[in-house]
Structure 1
C-alpha cells in the first residue's frame, strides 16, 4: 500500500526511511528531491504531502494528531525512521516528529533555515500569494490589500490569535483571487484550486506553529543555514552556514554530505515490541 501522508521522493533498497517536512509543491528553488539525489543510496526518502485545509474560525489543527498520523502511515509501510529533516517553516513539525519517532534512541534531526511561524509569517505569505497575481491586481488594489493586511491585529480577532489571523487572511485571499479570475474571465474552478492550495499552506503553517508551541519537540542535531540567515534563538547542536541563496542550498553535494554524516552518527534502532 502506498503512503497517504507522504510523497515518495526516493525509493530505498532497505527498510530505513528519512522523513522530510516541507510544503514543496510550486516553490521555486531546490527541494528535498535535489538533496536526495546526493544522499547515499539505501534509505527511502519521504516528504510530507500538503495537509487538508483546516482554516476556520474555531480551534486550530492539532499538531500531535497530525504527527501521530504521519508516523502511523510510515508504520503501515513497515519502515524504520532513521532521520528527520525540516525545511524553513516546517521546523516546528519536524521537531515534534523527531521527538515522537519510536525507538531506543532519538531520531537524528536536521533543520534547514528553520523559521518560527508567527503573525508576521502569516501576513508575509498572504502578501506573497497576492503579489503572484500581479497581472490581475492593479498597483492601487495591491497597496490597499497590503494596508489591510498590516491592520489585521490577531489579538483583536478573537479566539486563538494565530488561528484567527489565518482565518482572516484566508477570507481576504479568497475574495482577491475570485475577483481577479472573474475580471480576467478565467474559469472559477481554477480560482477555487488556487484558493484551496493557499488554505492548505495556511494549515501547514498553523500545524508547525502549534507543534512549536507545544514545547514537546526536540532540538536539532544539525542546523544548516543559507546566506544571511540567523539561527533561531536557543539553537543547540552543530550549525553550518553556506554562502549560497536559500533556493540553491539543498542542491549542494556538501549539504547532502553533512546530512549523511549526521544520520550515521546517531543510529536509530526500532522500539522493542510491547507485550500485550
Structure 2
C-alpha cells in the first residue's frame, strides 16, 4: 500500500482505521500499542506527515489518497491533542461516515503550549543556566497572560526562544549546526502539530464522537457518549480494556 500521509501500523483486514497523534516519539503508549492489541480485522494507519495550513485543507489532503486503496474508512481515532483533528478528518471522508473515537482529548491552548515549552527545556536543564531557565519560564507565563487567544503568536515566540537556548546548548557541547537543528527541529514540529490541532475541536458534523477517558481525566461534556477506563493516562492505548473496547466496536459487538 503506497501512501504519502499514512504509515501502516497493522494490516489485518479491509476496513481502514485512521489514527491521529503526533508522529514523533512519546513516553506514553501510542497507537502502535493499540493496533497490536486489537484483534478485530482492520488495517490501522497512522498519520505521518501533518504538514501545515488550514485544518480543513489538511484533512482533505490526508484523506484524498485513501479511495485509491479500495478500502472503506471504518473509524477515526485520536489521542490527546490529536483528538481535535478527528472530527475534521472524519467529516472529510467520502461515503458512509466513519466512527470518531477520542482518547483523552486535550484542547490546545496558550497554557498547553507554554507547558510543552518548559517541559522540553527541562530535558536540557543541565546545560542551561538558572537565569536562562527562569527567563524562559517568565517568557512563557507572560505570553499566556498577555496573549491567551493568539496561539500563533505564542508559538512563534516560544519557538524563537527555544531555538536561541538550543544554540547555547549546542555551543556549550561543541555540537555542529546539524545537531543544533536536530535539537530545535523536534520541538518546532510538535508546536506546529499543536497549532494545527488548535484549529480543531471535538464535535463532528455527521457522527457524534465516542470519548474514551483514563481514570484521572475529566469526563466529556454532559450528554456526550463516553467511557471511563480504570487505567492511567500514559497506559491508555496499551491497556487491555482499551483494546477490548475498540475490538468490540469494530466487530459490531458494541454500539458506537
User: Structure 2 length normalisation: TM-score?
Assistant: 0.89
Q: How big is the shift at 1:151? A: 0.9
1:209-251 C-alpha deviation (Å, 9 max, x unpaired) = 11229x76566542111131103446611x2222322111111
* Larger RCO: 1 or 2 (CA < 8 Å, sep 6+): 1
The 3-state SS of whatever aligns with 1:7 is strand
Which position in structure 1 is the counterpart of 2:248? 261
Pairwise CA RMSD of aligned residues?
2.5
Q: Deviations over 1:96-135 (max 9, x none)?
A: 111222123x211111110111111111111111111122
Q: For the structure 1 residues 83 and 8, does the alpha-carbon distance in structure 2 shift closer, same or farther, using more than 3 Å as the test?
A: same
Provide the C-alpha distance between the structure 1 equivalents of 2:195 and 2:253, rounded to a whole number of angstroms.
30
1:134 aligns to 2:125 (yes or no)? yes
SS at match of 2:29: coil
Match of 2:10 in 1: 10
Question: Does the CA-based 8 Å contact 1:181-1:187 persist in structure 2?
Answer: yes
Aligned in 2, Cα 1:18/1:178: closer, same or farther, shift over 3 Å? same
- Structure-2 separation of matches of 1:222 and 1:51: 23
Note the C-alpha offset of 1:198: 1.6
Structure 2: runs of 5+ lacking an equivalent: none
Cα distance 1:219–1:115, how it changes in 2: closer, same or farther (>3 A)?
farther
| Alignment CA distance shift 1:140-1:147 (3 Å) | same
Equivalent-residue separation in structure 1 for 2:131 and 2:147 (angstroms): 26
- Equivalenced residue count is 254
For structure 1, the 5+ residue unaligned runs are 55-60, 268-276
Counterpart in 1 of 2:216?
228
Change in Cα spacing, 1:177 to 1:218, as seen in structure 2 (3 Å) is farther
